[in-house]
Amino acid sequence: MATRKKPVSPEILVPRIGEYLVQKKIITLPELNKALFIQLEKAKQAEEMPLGKILVEMKLIDQETLDEAITEQLIRFRDALEQSNRQLELRVQQRTAELQDALNKINELNQLKNNFISNISHELRTPLTHIKGYLDLMISNDLGPLSEDQNQVLEIMGKATNRLERLIEDLIMFTFAEHEQVLISPSEFDLMAVTHEIITNFQTTFTQNQFKLDVIPETKSVLVFADQKKIAWVINQLIDNAIKFSKKEALIEISISWTQEAVNLKVKDNGIGIPEERIHEIFEPFHQLDSSSTRKAGGVGLGLALAKKIIESHGATLNVDSNFDVGSSFDFSLNRLK
């Protein structure tokens, strides 16, 4: 047979009812203290009794007056709670409006930043085109013969203008990608041939570095369906980063592995590595882990941010695995054509 639960007194919803009764001058403070002493003694005997019931039994107050006092307190608590809720709702509305205003200002600033970068990048294109044109004329001796020293200077200037052109193109691509997903034009191409061509270009420019290409399983070609130009840009960026953050005469390993469905390309170096707690920072635009004026690696901090957007636009992920002072590896996968 189930035991019947004792009815719950409304008094338990009203803390410090005794003090309220004293304030209302329904009982005196000595009477309250006496009732509290009785309640304490009963508690020692494992008998829980509400203070109001003790006051009624002591004939210091009748049940009707006690019920009225409890009701008054409950009404006060309800009114206070409702007022508190109204104030909270008002604060939430005000805070929401402030946050929305701040968000609008941030979006406006981002738009101004993107417009500025886009405009300045396009404006830089015109004078750079003129510079490159005249450099080509001079290098080809169309404007007259040059000495060996002059040719060496022009070669350095040519490399500098090529680097500046790549930075401008990166800025233009980034501002476009900020507005919407990077647009891709997928087509069938041989990832192996593209990778070989990129490595050959790096071997010509960076003769002090070693480049190793592993293909597992061995094959002469691997066809993928992707945007060839943008994927080539990503591979260039990953290898360039590996060189920048490696020691001289370092080994840069590029590996291609494939299954029936996908092809994975990985670029691995034995460079400075990235602390685990800072890996997320490398994909932030305009951000360099070493932002000091004495940093060894150049760039504006857009490469990996753009590479990530390009790979994600292909429905894939640019993965990174790095150990500080040991090295880093970046990899991504593309759909393979059988």
Residue 331 sits in a domain of what CATH number?
A: 3.30.565.10
Residue 191's pLDDT is 95
Distance CA 270, CA 250 (A): 7
Q: How many domains does the chain have?
A: 2
Q: Which residues contact 281 (CB under 8 A, 6 or more apart)?
A: 287, 289
Q: Give residue 263's pLDDT.
A: 95
Give the residue numbers spanning the domain of 331. Answer: 187-291+298-335
The pLDDT of residue 35: 84
Beta strands in the chain (DSSP E): 187-190, 210-216, 223-226, 251-258, 262-268, 319-323, 327-335
29 in Cβ contact with 41 (< 8 Å)? no
Residue 109 lies inside a defined structural domain of this protein: no
pLDDT in tens, 240-258: 889 888 876 778 999 999 9
DSSP code, position 97:
H
Binned at pLDDT 50, 70 and 90, residue 186 comes out as: very high
Mean pLDDT value across residues 78-99: 90
Query: Does the residue 272 lie in any domain?
Result: yes
Q: Say if residue 107's pLDDT is above 50.
A: yes
In a domain, 45, yes or no: yes
Residue 87, domain member (yes or no)? no
pLDDT class of 1 with cuts at 50, 70, 90: very low
Mean pLDDT, residues 282-306: 61
pLDDT at residue 295, rounded to an integer: 43
Looking at residue 272, its pLDDT comes to 85
Query: The pTM is what?
Result: 0.55
Band (7; pLDDT cuts 50, 70, 90): low
Judge whether 286 lies within some domain: yes
- Within a domain: 309: yes
Answer whether 316's CB lies under 8 Å from 302's CB: no
| Least confident piece of the model among 6-10, 105-109, 203-207 | 6-10
27 touches 60 (CB < 8 A): yes
Q: What is the pLDDT of residue 42?
A: 83
pLDDT over threshold 90, residue 264: yes
Q: 137 in a domain, yes or no?
A: no
Instruction: Tell me the pLDDT band of 126, cut-offs 50, 70 and 90.
Output: confident
Give strand pairing partners of 189: 224
The average confidence (pLDDT) of the chain is 82
Per-residue model confidence as pLDDT tens digits over 207-236: 777 888 888 888 889 999 999 989 999 999
C-alpha span between 139 and 170 (Å, rounded): 26
256: which strand partners? 215, 265
In the chain, % of residues over pLDDT 90: 21
32-50 pLDDT, tens digit each: 888 888 888 888 888 888 8
Residues 310-327 have pLDDT tens digits of 999 999 999 999 988 888
What pLDDT shows up at residue 11? 63
- The residue whose two tokens read 């002090």 is 208
Residue 205 lies in a domain: yes
Q: How confident is the model at residue 165 (pLDDT cuts 50, 70, 90)?
A: confident
Lowest mean pLDDT among 94-108, 124-138, 164-178: 164-178
